[in-house]
Amino acid sequence: MKFFVATKNAHKLAEFGKIFEGSGISLFSEKDLAKPLPEAEETGSTFRENALIKAREGCKATGMPSIADDSGLCVDYLGGAPGIYSARYAGEHGDDNANNQKLLKELDGVAINKRTARFISAIACVFPDGREFTVEGAVEGVIDTKPNGNGGFGYDPLFITEYGCFGVVPPEVKNAVSHRANAIKKFKEEIKKYI
């Protein structure tokens, strides 16, 4: 089955590709289109709502079943922030370094046992006939006091799980245990009801 992945984030697209490998699901993206998609306005108040907004836009623009991910980091000490604002926490969308520096500043002096956090990924699927569903996955961890490694993207260099820091572990480890991997596992089960 063919799906359009409604994202402009090359890192997310690469992770989707790796995690869906061998599943029988073919992924298409904006680079396969004649012209870029307009930027979807993320006006939702939850990861699920924003994922649906993006998937609906992708489906409308392409006429293909579309999937979209909305994900982010939720830090308990900060009341769940940065949450849905993870990509633009420091102001400019997608400035990973600035976002990480702001997070470290917000947690300066906070003991490691109070720096608990989770990555959350909501994946929405929208079909041209109007059917749609969402799934959500998470992975628990803590926020380190300094960045580690050059792997991953976003907050990965600060996020430590029982498997290691996402900025350090090999991509195949992260892609097996991440929030996105956990959401995609649920997606693969849910999609069976629709095909």
Q: 32, 69, 70, 108: which one is catalytic? A: 70
The answer to whether residues 158 and 167 touch, using CB atoms and an 8 Å cutoff, is: yes
- Please give the Cα distance from 126 to 194 (Å, whole number): 11
Q: Alpha helices, DSSP H only, in 75-135?
A: 96-106
Sign of the CA dihedral with 180 first, then 159, 71, and 91 last: negative
User: Is the bond into 171 cis (omega within 30 degrees of 0)?
Assistant: no
Active site residue 95: no
Instruction: Tell how strand 2-5 and strand 26-28 pair up.
Output: parallel
Residues 6+ apart with CB under 8 A from 87: 72, 93, 94, 99, 154
Task: Provide the annotated active-site residues.
Answer: 70
